A and B are shown apart, each in its own frame.
Chain A
Amino acid sequence: NAGVTQTPKFQVLKTGQSMTLQCAQDMNHEYMSWYRQDPGMGLRLIHYSVGAGITDQGEVPNGYNVSRSTTEDFPLRLLSAAPSQTSVYFCASSYPPGQGATEAFFGQGTRLTVV
């Protein structure tokens, strides 16, 4: 009963370093998304995918890359970390509308600090 699993839970990076945030789901969901959450800003969509091999940009994509080679995995890559990317990152997955329950299920989050 894993649901959506994100790793790592905490990370500290130096400015300019790169890293990959991992996200995996075992519910066979087609839709997967990455959000960042900052105080007073709500959840903002970074990138999303509607299926393996298909990705697109959300509201705040700059500085991030994604790929979707399998249904289960949707990693988020920070190319060159900046202090402005200090945030809590959430991965979410769901079925497309019209295919059963369509609420998004969220991972536990990755708390990233860039110094």
Chain B
Amino acid sequence: GQNIDQPTEMTATEGAIVQINCTYQTSGFNGLFWYQQHAGEAPTFLSYNVLDGLEEKGRFSSFLSRSKGYSYLLLKELQMKDSASYLCAVRDGRGYNQGGKLIFGQGTELSVKP
């Protein structure tokens, strides 16, 4: 079956580093995405991994291990505005005319405290 797991909530301190983990089990794999969603707003794209390793984008990095079905999102130098929900999504590589359907985890609510 299809399953994506993330912690429900996390708390961290302003200026610190936080790592949000995501594990997945899907029928196939055609890429993993991280999105940020502030309360009452639409999700916005943060990062994409399709090969193993680390992708870095400013204060945000994302890591993927396909053999372990595991990814993490690393946020450095946390700011208050980083308080949001972080969604892990896997494109499963099947359906969508073989491009793959996007399957979301339930999201991790991150609270950044002063």
Residues of A within 8 A of B (CB): 31, 33, 35, 40-45, 48, 50, 54, 56, 58, 90, 92, 96-98, 102-109
> Which of B13-21, B53-61, B64-72, B95-103 lines the interface with chain A?
B95-103
Which residues in A have their C-beta under 8 angstroms from that of B25? none
Interface size of B as a range: 20 to 34
Contact of A107 among B30, B42, B95, B103 (CB under 8 A): B42
Q: Are B101 and A106 in contact (CB under 8 A)?
A: no
Asked whether, in the complex, the Cβ of A104 is within 8 Å of the Cβ of B45, the reply is yes
Which of A31, A44, A90 is the one whose CB lies under 8 Å from B43? A90
When distances are taken between beta carbons in the complex, the residues of chain B under 8 Å from A90 are: 42-43
- A31, B45: Cβ atoms under 8 Å? no
Q: List 21 A-B contacts (CB under 8 A).
A: A31-B99, A42-B107, A43-B43, A43-B87, A50-B99, A56-B95, A56-B96, A58-B101, A90-B42, A90-B43, A96-B97, A97-B31, A97-B99, A97-B100, A104-B33, A104-B45, A105-B45, A106-B43, A107-B42, A108-B41, A109-B42
